[in-house]
Structure 1
Amino acid sequence: MSRIVYLNGEWLPEAEAKVSVFDRGFLFADAIYEVTGVIDGKLLEYEGHAARLKRSITELGLNLPISASELLEVHREIIRRNELKEGLIYLQLSRGPADRDFAFPKDPTPTLVLFTQAKSVIENPKLATGLSVALLPDWRWERRDIKTVQLLYPSMAKMQSMEKGADDAWLVEDGFVTEASSATAHIIDKTGRLITRPLSNAILHGITRASVLDLAEKAGIPYDERAFTPDEAMNAAEAFITSATNFVMPVTRIDGEPVGDGKPGTLTLKLRELYIADKIASAI
């Protein structure tokens, strides 16, 4: 059955949802996006994603054409219309259509699109073995804290990693790991301390990242927010990524070498269990 897509106030079959060829999201990647998980027909961490969306909108000077309460209802309605039990909701907001010009249009009419992906987000087949990652240079623009649709280099990094036999990339800049192609990177050292890069314009301000650090503190797992090197990662006891699409996912190989014993780590799996239980309980 065709998905029902939300486009600028209309509910349309996916084949009928069309965006102008002059849309600045298409011409200039002048757009932002968010991804919200769904389990049992309920939204996970919606407030965090809505807050980050608002921040991205402010940073780029975009306009959201509907109110915050209307946006929440659109998320709930797209779940109902697509009978989505488990999966993801993607939201994209562009500055809208205008004749091609590097200068922003004076009074743009934004384009707002939401669509769903039905998929298992809890039973990830990679959980049993963990992910393998390849180290690649981070050649993205410097405002990675804004969740834009400028995803060409992350896509290229993902493909280069797959060509190397890995699942994903960990990007490296100035001798330190920034993040994965579309997730936050973390390690756990041999003393059991979680280490993750601090927030800045160098990384996306991950919603799952923030929740995991909060859960780690409550569980008595110490953590440091600091940059770490590829060598530290390769010599860590455990490694993992966090994101709305993966929750907490073990990383067991870096550039072909095992992390720890090469199996998903005990603390990583504990954090995953804590995260899933907590977010299912607070889903709306």
Structure 2
Amino acid sequence: MSTYPIILSQTKFTHRDSVRYPIEERALQFGDGVYEVIRVYNGEYYLLTEHVDRLFRSAEAIKIKLSFTKEEISNQLVELLNRNNIKEDAKVYLQISRGTAPRDHVFPKEVPPNIYAYAQKQPRNLTNLENGVCVTTHKDIRWENCYIKSLNLLPNVLAKQEASEKGCYEAILHKNGLVTECSAANVYLVKDGKIYTHPATNNILYGCVRLRIEQFARDLNIPFIEEPFTIDDISTADELFLSSSTSEIMPIIHVDGEQIRDGKPQIITRQLQKAYEQDARITKNRIKQTM
């Protein structure tokens, strides 16, 4: 994955090779920070406002005081694309930590947050979007504040690594038999023409794409029900799909080796994918929408 040369570090733009962070950076030592991954299509951000809003919510939740406004950081992120002359599909990683200070669990005083952002090329994964993916299931062992997009991702990493070792795209997480989300995505079950997904509680990250899916469903007159489904419900699902900024709306066709229906993406997932492409103004490299 190719990283563009110019990054945002604090309030300045600089070459990625010139940036060095000190060993007492709290993101390194405590995972004391928050982040966002923002999708770019044809050189334009998708859902930038929603991502910046969530960034501020996450920072407030862990008591990081930001020294900039939403408008200021949004303008800098746009400038990041301009400085790198990005005209294609990409993604931007944005991270804010509590700052740099001698190691102590207690928050440091009068220390400014550290911020950086960089962009990478991110072509659409049309093969998976068209054909669907296989996933596995994994016990959800994360903390109880998953609504915060924090840097503490080790349980997510372990779950996704296990899925990868099994040849799967993702891991569906569950607590006491109830499905929460995936290691890096929200997840949805379709049954009898209705979409089911876990309520937006502290137990999941309320995805920006998920917010759009809810709107798409309303526009398509598809009931969108915030109600948890179980691991056992998956075997009788009509459709299953996941969503995130990098995965978009991804059909799931196998879970733990068991095929979902006929093993092909179904009509509601296809309708949502089409609505996503229209909303993101994707005019080339589109999903073929075969059934």
Q: TM-score, normalised by structure 1?
A: 0.95
Corresponding residue number in structure 2 for 1:254:
255
Q: Distance in 1 between matches of 2:276 and 2:128?
A: 17
Structure 2 counterpart of 1:146, one-letter code: I
Whole-angstrom distance in 2 between the partners of 1:96 and 1:73: 22
Q: Does 1:46 align with 2:41?
A: no
Alignment of 1:56-71 (within 5 A): 56-71=58-73
| Residue equivalent to 1:199 | 200
| Residues 35 and 88 in structure 1, CA contact (< 8 A), matched pair in contact too | yes
Cα shift at 1:17: 1.6
C-alpha RMSD of the superposition: 1.4
Q: What aligned pairs does 1:1-284 form with structure 2 within 5 A after superposition?
A: 3-84=5-86, 85-121=88-124, 123-189=125-191, 191-280=192-281
Q: Which runs of 5+ in 2 are unaligned?
A: 283-291
Contact 1:2 1:13 in 2 (8 A): no
Amino acid across the alignment from 1:171: L
**Shift in CA distance, 17/125, structure 1 to aligned 2, threshold 3 Å:** farther
Structure 1 distance, partners of 2:280, 2:4, is 29
Query: Are the aligned partners of 1:208 and 1:243 in contact in 2 as well (CA < 8 Å)?
Result: yes
Contact 1:154 1:181 in 2 (8 A): yes
Aligned letter for 1:182? A
Q: CA deviation at 1:223?
A: 2.1
1:12 and 1:58 mapped to 2: Cα distance? 28
* Identical counterparts, % of pairs: 32
Using the size of structure 2 for normalisation, the TM-score is 0.93
Structure 1 counterpart SS, 2:212: helix
Task: Decide whether the 8 Å contact of 1:44 with 1:280 is kept in 2.
Answer: no
Q: Deviations over 1:228-282 (max 9, x none)?
A: 001112220110001111111101110010111111122101101101211328x
Q: 2: CA distance between counterparts of 1:278 and 1:107?
A: 42
2:188, 2:107 → 1: CA distance? Answer: 38
SS state at 2:281 partner: helix
Give the partner amino acid of 2:27.
G
Equivalent position SS for 2:253: strand
Where 1:280 maps in the other structure, the secondary structure is coil
CA positional deviation for 1:149:
1.0
Instruction: State the secondary structure of the residue aligned to 1:128.
Output: helix
Q: CA deviation at 1:2?
A: 5.2
Q: How many residues align?
A: 279
| Structure 2 counterpart of 1:152, one-letter code | L
Matching residue's letter, 1:173: K
Query: Relative to structure 1, is the Cα distance of residues 125 and 17 closer, same or farther in structure 2, using a 3 angstrom cutoff?
Result: farther
CA distance in 2, matches of 1:245, 1:226: 25
Deviations 1:95-126 (A, max 9, x none): 000111111112221100000011113x4321
Q: Which stretches of structure 1, 4 residues or longer, exceed 3 Å deviation after superposition?
A: none
